[in-house]
């Protein structure tokens, strides 16, 4: 199987061009290639596929083999691959995901290779039933709601960006025990499809620092849908403006919850290397 290793702000995946390659069991392949000791090493596997609804289709599998609806850093790299490898030749494209069809703007450098991508992440979903989060009322919002974990109470704000997110604001994110609390929150009974967890420190009204515990992958260097959820959660709690710079472990993302109700994310997309693996 031929593949390309790419990352968005350090959130790295193995990408396969399914216009020319065939992946019979993507869940099994994701587990194998993601292993950082015995495989290629990545946060998961992303398939770049033809679509009858958009210019291109993305399927994303976590390192544990589970399939996720969306990946904000991954979708930027899909756009870069499609343009740089001549699948598409335009700088505004549409991409089909498990969270719907998204529109992306591509920004190239002097070598005409894509360096940055702006993604219309759509309208954040805030109702419990849409995220989903158990509780009443089903059409209510989860904003600054207490959740007890290991005799500690966290105030959570939940958002769906096509996949579920639980945002928790902390005083010192660097020293926070994400590896202790992340998996417990991810698998808590109130989250029917598990959840991604963002631990966030407010720097100013326009700047935050985020660490991410990703559903099915553990702590990752960045999460684009998570950064989008953080922008929404910060505004809902009156902690930030609707336009912020988010410092993630692997790099920075620019987020804007715009007047049209849509969330826009802008960030880098980097190709690391190409290779071939015998499965």
User: Catalytic residue numbers?
Assistant: 71, 223
Q: What does DSSP say about strands 2-8 and 11-17: parallel, antiparallel, or unpaired?
A: antiparallel
- Cα 262-268-271 angle, rounded to 5 deg: 130
- Show Cβ contacts of residue 238 under 8 Å, excluding neighbours closer than 6 positions: none
> Contact, 218 vs 231, CB < 8 A?
no
Q: What DSSP assignment string belongs to 7-73?
A: EETTEEEEEEETTT---S-HHHHHHHHH-TTTSS--SEEEEEE--SSSSEEEEEEETTS-EES--HH
119: left (phi over 0), alpha (psi -120 to 50) or beta: beta
Among 241, 210, 243, residue whose Cα is nearest residue 226: 210
Q: What DSSP assignment string belongs to 88-122?
A: ---SEEEEEETTEEEEEEEEE-TTS-EEEEEEE--
> Contact, 141 vs 126, CB < 8 A?
yes
The 8-class DSSP code of residue 232 comes to: H
Give the 3-state secondary structure of residue 4.
strand
Burial of 2 (0-12, 13-18, 19+ CB in 10 A): exposed
């Amino acid at each position: 199987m031929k593949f390309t290793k790419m990352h968005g702000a350090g959130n790295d995946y193995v990408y396969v061009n399914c216009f020319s390659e065939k992946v019979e069991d993507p869940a099994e392949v994701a587990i194998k290639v993601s292993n950082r000791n015995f495989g290629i090493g990545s946060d998961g596997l992303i398939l770049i596929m033809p679509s009858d609804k958009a210019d291109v289709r993305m399927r994303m599998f976590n390192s544990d083999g589970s399939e996720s609806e969306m990946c904000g850093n991954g979708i930027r790299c899909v756009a870069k691959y499609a343009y740089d490898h001549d699948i598409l030749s335009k700088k505004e494209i549409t991409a089909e995901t498990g969270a719907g069809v998204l529109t992306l703007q591509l920004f190239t450098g002097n070598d005409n290779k894509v360096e940055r991508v702006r993604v219309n992440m759509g309208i954040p979903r805030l109702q419990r039933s849409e995220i989903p989060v158990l509780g009443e009322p089903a059409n209510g919002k989860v904003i600054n709601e207490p959740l007890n974990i290991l005799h500690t109470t966290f105030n959570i704000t939940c958002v769906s960006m096509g996949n579920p997110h639980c945002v928790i604001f902390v005083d010192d994110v660097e020293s926070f025990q994400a590896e202790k609390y992340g998996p417990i929150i991810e698998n808590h009974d109130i989250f029917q499809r598990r959840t991604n967890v963002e631990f966030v420190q407010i720097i100013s009204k326009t700047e935050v620092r985020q660490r991410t515990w990703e559903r099915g992958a553990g702590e990752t260097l960045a999460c684009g849908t998570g950064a989008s959820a953080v922008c929404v959660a910060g505004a809902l709690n009156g902690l930030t403006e609707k336009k912020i710079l988010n410092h993630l472990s692997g790099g920075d993302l620019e987020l804007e919850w715009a007047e049209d109700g849509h969330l826009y994310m802008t960030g880098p997309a980097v190709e690391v290397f190409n290779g071939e693996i015998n499965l």
